[in-house]
Amino acid sequence: MRIENARRSVTALSTAAVALVLGINVASAAAGQPSPWETGMQEMVTELGQSVSSFHTYLVWLITAICLFVLALILVIIVRFNENKNPTPSRTTHNTLLEVAWTIVPVLILVAIAIPSFRLLREQLVPPQADLVVKATGYSWYWGYEYPADQGGFKFDSNMIPEDGNRKPDQPRLLGADNAMVVPVGKVVRVQVTSADVLHAFAMPSFYIKVDAVPGRLNETWFKAEKEGVYYGQCSELCGNGHPYMPIEIRVVSEQQFAAWLAEAKQRYASTDSSAPIKFATAQ
């Protein structure tokens, strides 16, 4: 029994190691949420996220190649230049060609990393023309979403569904929210992010976005989700004891569904009072 367990852990460990090297996920993840033994990134549903994911894989291969090269050099030194094989070591110093090479090659490697990295940063930081703007405000401890006047001008709060609440089977624990932020598929959504009290951070792993929510300051990020679905993120700045209980749920729906939701939301959230007392999403 013990051997069987040991064998199983070895298999799990080696699978994880291989996955780590290849930058892939062990478990087939449900889209839009994390899964057990996940070592890579979540499935990306934005073009930017997919580029970042391939960049990540590219870096993993580059790092692996460098490590293997250095390991090979060390092995050559151990085998060929040990005291027995090489009793009188060479006293050579300075080799211009070698010295130029080991300066230039790392520089070239850094350039090969910097160029795609800066390109991705630019794409992230320079948003295209937005089709829709949503304002997300962090509160202790829940999120508030506001759709501006051209979308109906309403706002609502989004609280975590508590453990003893009526969480539906498809809503993951600690990630499901009572009111999701809803956006149409294939549209550029600009998210303006701020906080009403302490530092929070708005993050959605499947979209590859994360931006600080800072009181008194309006930050922004953007995404264009290419696939309909429900996506989950969390506050990503330690903000207090309710920090793990303020999930972000974004529903990406078709344009017709979005229009229908908008019509319903306008009615439903019309009476939301901005000075309503802060609701605490308490942990169970």
The pattern of x and - marking residues 185 through 204 that bind Cu ion according to CB under 5 A reads ---------------x----
How is residue 29 written in tokens?
Answer: 């993840």
Q: How many CB atoms lie within 10 A of CB 279?
A: 11
Q: Across 126-279, where does the E strand assignment appear?
A: 132-139, 142-147, 154-158, 181-184, 189-195, 200-204, 209-213, 219-223, 229-234, 247-253
In the complex, the smallest distance separating the C-beta of residue 53 from Cu ion, rounded to whole angstroms, is 26
Of the pair 143, 154, the CB lying nearest Cu ion is at: 143
Task: Look up residue 264 and give its amino acid.
Answer: E
Of 256, 126, 260, the C-alpha closest to 190 is 126
User: Which amino acid does the sequence have at 267?
Assistant: Q
* Residues that contact Cu ion, how many (by CB under 5 A): 3
Residue 128 DSSP label: P
Nearest to 161 by CA among 153, 147, 173, 170: 173
Give the nearer residue to Cu ion in terms of CB position, either 200 or 224.
Answer: 200
Nearer to Cu ion, 34 or 244 (CB): 244
Q: Per the structure block, which two tokens stand in for 3? A: 């051997």
Residues from 47 through 66 that contact Cu ion (CB under 5 A):
none
Q: Which of 181, 182, 183, 187 is nearest to 226 (CA)?
A: 187
Task: Give the span between the Cα atoms of 22 and 39, in whole angstroms.
Answer: 10
Minimum CB separation of residue 235 from Cu ion in Å reads: 3
Strands 189-195 and 209-213: unpaired
Write each residue from 223 to 262 as x if it is in contact with Cu ion (CB under 5 A), else as -, in one continuous string: ------------x---x-----------------------
- N-term to C-term CA, the chain: 37
Which residue, among 6, 7, 255, 223, has the nearest Cα to 123 in the 3D structure? 223
CB 156 within 8 A of CB 272: yes
Query: In the complex, which residues of this chain contact Cu ion (CB under 5 A)?
Result: 200, 235, 239
